[in-house]
Amino acid sequence: MRTLGIDLAAEPVKTAVAWVDWSQDSARVVGLRLGATDEQLVEAVVGADKCGIDAPFGWPDAFVDFVCAHRARQPRLELELGSRAGRLPLVRRRTDRVVHELTGVVPLSVSADRIAHVALRCAGLLARLDAAGIDVDRVDGSVVEVYPAAALQQWGCRFRGYKGSANRAALVDMVAHLAEQMGRLDFGAFRGTCEASDDAFDSVVAAVIARAAALGRTCGPEEPDRGVVGREGWIHLPEGTLSGLVSP
C-alpha cells in the first residue's frame, strides 16, 4: 500500500507532500516534496491508494446559511452575534466540536481564521481531483481530512511546541519519537528534511493517518451526523496504536 500525506498551505511554497510505502512489517518514506503545486498534488494523489490532506474540506452549515441570508438581505435575527458564544455555531463545524470533545484540541476555524485561505485552495484541489476521477466524498473518499496535532495527541505523542524555526530541537525529537513509536517507520533519505521542516513532518504524519483511515482505524461520525459532515467535512482521528499500523 502507498499512502500520501499533504500538508496544504495557501500557497505552494509552504505546501509539503510525502509518500509512504507500507509492507507487511515495515513502513518507509519514499518521497517528499516541498513547494508542491496543485498540478503536482493531483498527480501524486492519482498514484496513491489513500491520501490524507491537512486542510478543512468545507464550512459550517450555519455559516453558509448565514452568508446566503446576509447576501439576500434576510437577516437572521435569532442569532446572537454580539458575543463569541453566539457566533460559535458559525465558526465551528460538527467535526471541530467532536475533535475538541475527544482530544481537548481546538481546530482552527475555517470561517473565522486565516486557515480559510487554505480551505479555499483545498476546495479547488478537491474539484481538480474529482475531475480526475478521484473519490472526494468528504467522509469516506480516497482523500480524507486529517489534523496532525490531534492525531499526535491520540497517539500519546507531543503535539504542541514543535512548529517554527525556533523549535528545531523539539521537531527533531518529534521525528525520532514518531519513528520509535511506530517501531519500523524509516524516514530514509528524508529524515533531515523532516527534522528541518515542520511542513515536511506534518505531511508524513498526514500519510500515516491516511494509513489508519485505509485500515478503518479512525473515528467515524455518528449516523445522525452523516448528512451535515458530508457537507462540512470530517476530520479522521486515528484509533489504536501507531505500531498497529505497521503490522495490522
Q: What is the pLDDT of residue 77?
A: 65
Does residue 9 lie within any of the structural domains?
A: yes
Query: Where in the sequence is the domain holding 142, given as residue range(s)?
Result: 2-58+93-246
Q: What is the pLDDT of residue 80?
A: 80
Contact partners, residue 197, CB within 8 Å, separation at least 6: 16, 34
Does residue 167 lie within any of the structural domains?
A: yes
Contact predicate 210/144, CB 8 Å: yes
- DSSP state string for 75-136: --TTS-TTSHHHHHHHH--HHHHHHHHHHS--PPPTTTSTHHHHHHHHHHHHHHHHHTT---
Q: What is the pLDDT of residue 246?
A: 87
Q: What is the pLDDT of residue 36?
A: 97
How many domains does the chain fold into? Answer: 1
Does residue 116 lie within any of the structural domains?
A: yes
Q: What is the pLDDT of residue 167?
A: 82
Q: What is the pLDDT of residue 108?
A: 94
Does residue 172 lie within any of the structural domains?
A: yes
Does residue 85 lie within any of the structural domains?
A: no
Does residue 115 lie within any of the structural domains?
A: yes
Q: What is the pLDDT of residue 133?
A: 97
SS3 at position 163? coil
Q: What is the pLDDT of residue 159?
A: 80
Per-residue pLDDT of the chain (248 residues; tens, 9 = 90+): 999 999 999 999 999 999 999 988 889 999 999 999 999 999 999 999 999 999 999 999 999 999 999 899 987 767 787 888 888 889 999 999 999 999 999 999 999 998 999 999 999 999 999 999 999 999 999 999 999 999 999 998 878 888 887 788 888 988 888 888 887 789 999 999 999 999 999 999 999 999 999 999 999 999 999 999 999 999 999 998 888 898 65
Q: What is the pLDDT of residue 75?
A: 75
Does residue 35 lie within any of the structural domains?
A: yes
Does residue 54 lie within any of the structural domains?
A: yes
Q: What is the pLDDT of residue 76?
A: 75
The letter for the amino acid at 104 is G
